[in-house]
Structure 1
């Protein structure tokens, strides 16, 4: 039976290259477009993060089978499993913010609205 992807290593290299290009473009995009890209990347159903999580989880299943056969150390399987779990947790943490990112990309009404004020990122202690 032929492989479903004739050149999987080349495919992985191309995806890695394209992710690098996307990161480079992201820093150059106007804010609205950058938010669209980030929201798309973080989309819990079809985003890049969920795709990478699925890929690592699939790699973990493969590594488990190989570890059971003795061709890979069990540590490899465990590390991939932990990585898949961590990526899933990160995705869940970010999922609560994807609605905000998506909403920020929608056009708003044309009524003039004052610009949002910058919020301090550091809370100062009072003595």
Structure 2
């Protein structure tokens, strides 16, 4: 007889399923609503991206403890720590664009008399 997955595993599966649903919804939303959703997801303090970064940090602490006990290879801890740091950097980069997303999200769907000029999509990135 198989054992049911423990609650945290089921919770992770449910969150993953709901993120898939959210992606499907965003792809079908009008631009102002899609921008609102994306701005909320990217919020470093209360959004999904910040929460995932925090989850990776928690996982890194766990992996460090387990690596020190010899249960996990140190590379697992280092990889989780690196992923957490890089995701944190990405979160900060995206936070710079929060105002633009919020501006688009605040616009009514049908107010544009003249469409905005397209922007070039190739830009230089500073690092």
TM-score scaled by length of structure 2: 0.84
Contact map agreement 2:34 2:105 (CA 8 A) in 1: no
Aligned: 1:93 with 2:85:
no
Question: C-alpha displacement at 1:121, in angstroms?
Answer: 2.9
CA RMSD, Structure 1 to Structure 2 (Å): 2.0
- Can you give the 5+ residue segments of structure 1 that lack an aligned partner in the other structure? 1-5
Unaligned runs of 5+ in 2: 1-5
Corresponding residue for residue 117 of structure 2: 117
Alpha-carbon distance in structure 1 between the residues aligned to 2:99 and 2:86: 22
Q: Distance in 2 between matches of 1:117 and 1:15?
A: 38
For 1:102-125, what per-residue CA distance to the aligned partner results, in whole angstroms no more than 9, with x for missing partners? Answer: 1221247xx8753211223358xx
Aligned to 2:49: 49
**Any runs of at least 4 consecutive aligned residues in structure 1 with deviations exceeding 4 A, and if so which?**
none
Number of aligned residue pairs: 117
Mark the structure with the bigger radius of gyration. Answer: 1
Look up the match of 1:39.
39
TM-score (norm 1): 0.84
Please give the alpha-carbon distance, in whole angstroms, between the structure 1 residues aligned to 2:76 and 2:122.
40
